[in-house]
Amino acid sequence: MQMDERKRKILRAIVQDYIATAEPIGSRTIARKFDLGVSPATIRNEMADLEDLGLIEQPHTSSGRVPSDAGYRYFVDCLMDPQTVSDEQKEIIERESSKRIHEIQEVISHTSRLLSELTNLTSIVLGPQKGKSTFGKMHFLPYQPGQVILVIVKENGTVENHIVDIGENLTTDELQQVAAVFNQKMRGYSLSQVKRSLLHEIYDELSRQRLLIDNTLDMLREILDDNEQEERIYLGGTLNMLNQPEFKDLGKVKTLFKVFEENESLKKLLQPYQEGLNVTIGGENTLKEFKGCSVISATYKVNGLTIGAVGVLGPTRMDYGKAIAIVDFMTRSLTEILTKRR
């Protein structure tokens, strides 16, 4: 869509003012608040053209206009000045994230809370899918006579613990030998990529420690066959919705909060399998409950593999420049933190 510079300036003014005030704006107010060098009558004519183009609309009987979904889209794609995360915000993100890197779940949960605090929007963070997590290493910890704790560390930072029966006679050196073979054979594979043939190969190489191997392989098969492959969703700042004038209708809020309980619906909002940063505005959302909302999301990676997504949800009248900058920086920060854990 091609527009002359005057229309672009007027549309930018309408979007920026509505984001700031949540109030429809008229031609006289635009002339007074924005130095566009034209009269209210000229602005009014240009606004009529913008309305014909579907970029602004008139809510109810108000004399002012507000951006439409198409107007927000044009603003984001063509008019918005890129913003950067402030040094203070960067320091907060890096300082707070570095304190909590013991477990990936803790990192992601904290990311969700921090994202909602910095944007004053609702944050949605999609945790990594089990099948996409590549095997890093395993080791055994003494537990009690005849049993050890099998610790599986994946390359994305997740840790799984399982109790395994080993019999009475295995030494510490033999346990280390078993772990070394598994680590050599399986490192770098995702759990969904581990084939039964590889498990048989490990079995043959370690035939002496049969009980330990049988039980460890059974545990791995259980992990491979686990149907619980869904990513976990982390929400933050859901009550931020209540601070927005668009969500004063309690019926609308109840509908949104009901969807917040449905993982599959939230995953659709994030578009987790689209690489890079995505902005979905109003009616572009596939869920009818979120037609009045926008979502800004981006994927995060470990060792080049996309394993999850980070996003914020808010009204279409959101500060897109600020939210995009924070989501982008937060995603890159999360990628760096998780990669360093390898």
Taking the alpha carbons at both ends of the chain, their separation in whole angstroms is 47
**CA-wise closest residue to 138 among 95, 97, 104, 189:** 189
Give me the pLDDT at residue 179, please: 83
Contacts of 107 (CB under 8 A, 6+ apart): 97, 100, 101, 157, 334, 337, 338
User: What residue type is assigned to position 176 of the chain?
Assistant: Q
pTM for the predicted model, two decimal places? 0.70
pLDDT of residue 227: 45
**Alpha carbon distances (Å) from 86 to 156, 197, 300, 322:** 28, 52, 21, 10
Q: How many CB atoms lie within 10 A of CB 121?
A: 30
Q: Find the length of the chain.
A: 342
**What is the spatial distance between Cα 160 and Cα 227, in angstroms, rounded to a whole number?**
16
State the DSSP H helix or E strand holding residue 88, giving kind and residue range, or none if neither.
helix 87-98
Count of CB atoms within 10 A of residue 98's CB?
A: 12
pLDDT digits (tens, 9 = 90+) for 30-63: 999 998 999 999 999 999 999 999 999 998 766 7
What's 127's DSSP letter?
Answer: P
Angle CA 294–296–302, to nearest 5: 155
Beta bridge partners of 298: 277, 310
pLDDT at residue number 248: 80
Q: Any alpha helices (H) in 99-171, and if so which ranges?
A: 104-119
Compute mean pLDDT per 10 residues along the chain, 342 residues long, and list them.
Answer: 89 95 93 92 95 92 87 95 89 70 67 90 78 70 75 66 71 79 75 68 67 68 54 81 82 81 78 78 88 90 76 93 94 80 51
**DSSP assignments along 164-184, one per residue:** EE--S---HHHHHHHHHHHHH
Name the β-bridge partners of 254: none
Query: Cβ distance 158 to 342 under 8 Å?
Result: no
Query: For residue 279, what is the DSSP state?
Result: E
Among residues of the chain, what percentage have pLDDT more than 90? 32
Q: Given this model, what pLDDT does residue 155 score?
A: 66
Nearest CA among 137, 126, 123 for reference residue 104: 126
Q: pLDDT for 262-309, tens place per residue? A: 777 787 787 655 778 999 999 998 888 888 899 999 988 776 767 778
Local structure of residue 232 (DSSP, 8 states): P
List, in order of start, the domains of the chain with CATH numbers. 5-79 (1.10.10.10), 87-128+231-340 (3.30.450.40), 131-224 (3.30.390.60)
